Structure 1
Amino acid sequence: MNDCFRTIYEPSGLTVTTTGRPGGITVLTLVGDIDAATVGTLDEALATDGRLVVDLSRVAFLSCAGVRSLLRANARTELAVVLGGHSVTRSLEATGADLMLKIHPRVGAALAGLALEPGREA
Structure 2
Amino acid sequence: MYDCFRTIDEPSGLTVTTTDRPGGIRVLTLVGDIDAATVGTLEEALATGDRLVVDLSRVAFLSCAGVRSLLQANARTELAVVRGGHAVARSLEATGADVVLKIHPGVGAALAVLAPAPGLEA
Under a length normalisation based on structure 2, what TM-score does the superposition of the two structures give?
A: 0.86
1:3 is aligned to: none
1:108 is aligned to: 108
2: distance between equivalents of 1:112 and 1:36? Answer: 32
Q: Shift of the alpha carbon at 1:114?
A: 1.0
Q: Shift of the alpha carbon at 1:59?
A: 0.1
Equivalent residues in 2 for 1:36-115 (5 A)? 36-115=36-115
RMSD, aligned CA: 1.8
- Ranges of 4+ aligned residues in structure 1 off by more than 4 Å: none
1: distance between equivalents of 2:34 and 2:24? Answer: 26
- Answer yes or no: is the 8 Å Cα contact 2:26–2:51 preserved in 1: yes
- CA deviation map 1:48-76 (0-9, x unaligned): 34200000000000000000000000000
How many pairs align? 111
Gaps of 5+ in 1: 1-10
Percent identical residues: 84
- CA deviation map 1:16-52 (0-9, x unaligned): 0000000000000000000001000000000134200
Under a length normalisation based on structure 1, what TM-score does the superposition of the two structures give?
A: 0.86
SS of the residue 1:23 aligns to: coil
- CA deviation map 1:86-120 (0-9, x unaligned): 00001000000001000000000000011157xx9
- Answer yes or no: is the 8 Å Cα contact 1:115–1:121 preserved in 2: no
- Answer yes or no: is the 8 Å Cα contact 1:64–1:91 preserved in 2: yes
Name which one, 1 or 2, has greater alpha-carbon Rg: 1
Whether 2:1 is the aligned partner of 1:16: answer: no
- Answer yes or no: is the 8 Å Cα contact 2:28–2:54 preserved in 1: yes
Higher relative strand content: 2
Gaps of 5+ in 2: 1-10
